[in-house]
Structure 1
Amino acid sequence: MKKILTIAVAFVLVLSLGACKKKGFENVDSISYGTSFGMCAGYCHNELSISGNKTTMTRQQNGNPTATKKCNSSVSESEVNEIKKLLNTNAVYKLPKVIGCPDCADGGAEWVKIKSNGKEYEIAFEYGHAPEALKVAVDKLKAISETFKDCK
């Protein structure tokens, strides 16, 4: 009887530990992608936000946070869904919040923020050195950011 009870408890523990496993993001509400260069003059902090199919580019001037520019546009639903799919993987979810030394020695920083179910998860990394799990999504987000070159 004692053996059966021990096996039953072990079985319940194994099942409960498996249930605690994190499995990516349930619902991606919004995605942001940005770049920043701390030792730069001008508009050196740029962030693209995608919510639904609405895109907003926010540019901030170093040393003058009130000098902010915002431009809006839209992106196709299929493109947004593709980016969400690329970001909604176990590999992305398991990444640390900071990778390398973002913006050390003015090398610049990049980041991706994912809002899911009211929680925000941000991954920051050295400019131009996206982790493998983010590379394709970052390339797509950069391409969308490039459409705001004339945001003045």
Structure 2
Amino acid sequence: MKTKLLLIALMIVGLGFTSCKKDKTEAVEEIGYGTSFGMCVGYCLNEVAIINNGKITFTKRANGINPSTKSCTKTIDESEVNTLKALVNTNEFAKLPEVIGCPDCADGGAEWISLRVEGKVKKVTFEHGKAPNELKELAQKLKGIKESFGDCN
């Protein structure tokens, strides 16, 4: 009897430790994505922020002495937000370095993805068009969302 109780107690403790390692996708509060080009004329920095309620904010900033900023917003439904969040593996994202490759070297441009999870933000920046394997599908979807703001003036 004591052996069974001990075995049950060990299983409960073991399950408790493995649950700590679960992906925190459901805790993603915001997904950010952007591109920038240092040697560029016009609106060279573009970024989107997608929050849990489906609100998307697009911002573009111009280079120059008096840089101007323009913003537009849209909303997407909860299922679309959940589709994006399903492409996020927070454990894998946390393991990635903050900078991969040489973003915007020789004006090749930079891309980044950021996640706000439980109030903490992590941003991973990589060479434009060269998302790491862990982020390729998410980067592709986020690029499409960013491009959907082409009429933002």
Structure 1 length-normalised TM: 0.81
Query: Residues 13-58 of structure 1, C-alpha deviation per residue, up to 9 Å, x if partnerless?
Result: xx9xx78x86544610111100000000000000001012000100
SS in 2 for 1:59: strand
List, as ranges, runs of 4+ consecutive aligned residues in structure 1 with deviation greater than 2 Å. Answer: 21-26, 63-66, 88-93
Aligned to 1:74: 75
Residues 64 and 113 from structure 1, CA distance in 2 versus in 1: closer, same or farther, beyond 3 angstroms?
Answer: farther
Would you say how many aligned residue pairs link Structure 1 and Structure 2?
135
Structure 1 contact 34–110 (Cα < 8 Å) conserved: yes
Report the secondary structure of 2:133's partner residue.
coil
Which aligned pairs between 1:51-66 and structure 2 lie closer than 5 A?
51=51, 52-64=53-65, 66=67
Deviations 1:83-126 (A, max 9, x none): 11211343222111110001011000000010011100100000
CA distance in 1: counterparts of 2:54 and 2:21, whole angstroms: 27
Q: CA RMSD in A?
A: 1.9
Please report how far the alpha carbon of residue 64 of structure 1 lies from its aligned counterpart in structure 2 after TM superposition.
Answer: 4.5
User: Compared with structure 1, are the counterparts of its residues 41 and 83 closer, same or farther at alpha carbon in structure 2 (3 Å cutoff)?
Assistant: same
Q: Distance in 2 between matches of 1:76 and 1:64?
A: 39
For the 8 Å contact 1:36–1:108, the answer to whether it is kept is yes
Which letter does structure 2 place at the counterpart of 1:34?
Answer: G
Identity of aligned residues (%): 52
- Quick check: 1:39 aligned with 2:64? no
Contact 1:24 1:92 survives alignment (8 Å):
no
Q: Any residues of structure 2 matched to 1:2-151 within 5 Å, and which? A: 24-25=23-24, 27-51=27-51, 52-64=53-65, 66-151=67-152
Structure 2 CA distance for aligned equivalents of residues 35 and 23 of structure 1: 30
What runs of 5+ residues in structure 1 fail to find an aligned partner? 1-14
Q: How has the CA–CA distance of structure 1 residues 64 and 76 changed in structure 2, closer, same or farther, with 3 Å as cutoff? A: farther
Q: Find the residue that maps to 1:133 and give its secondary structure.
A: helix
Q: TM-score, normalised by structure 2?
A: 0.81
| Alpha-carbon distance change, 90 to 58 in structure 1, aligned in 2, over 3 angstroms | same
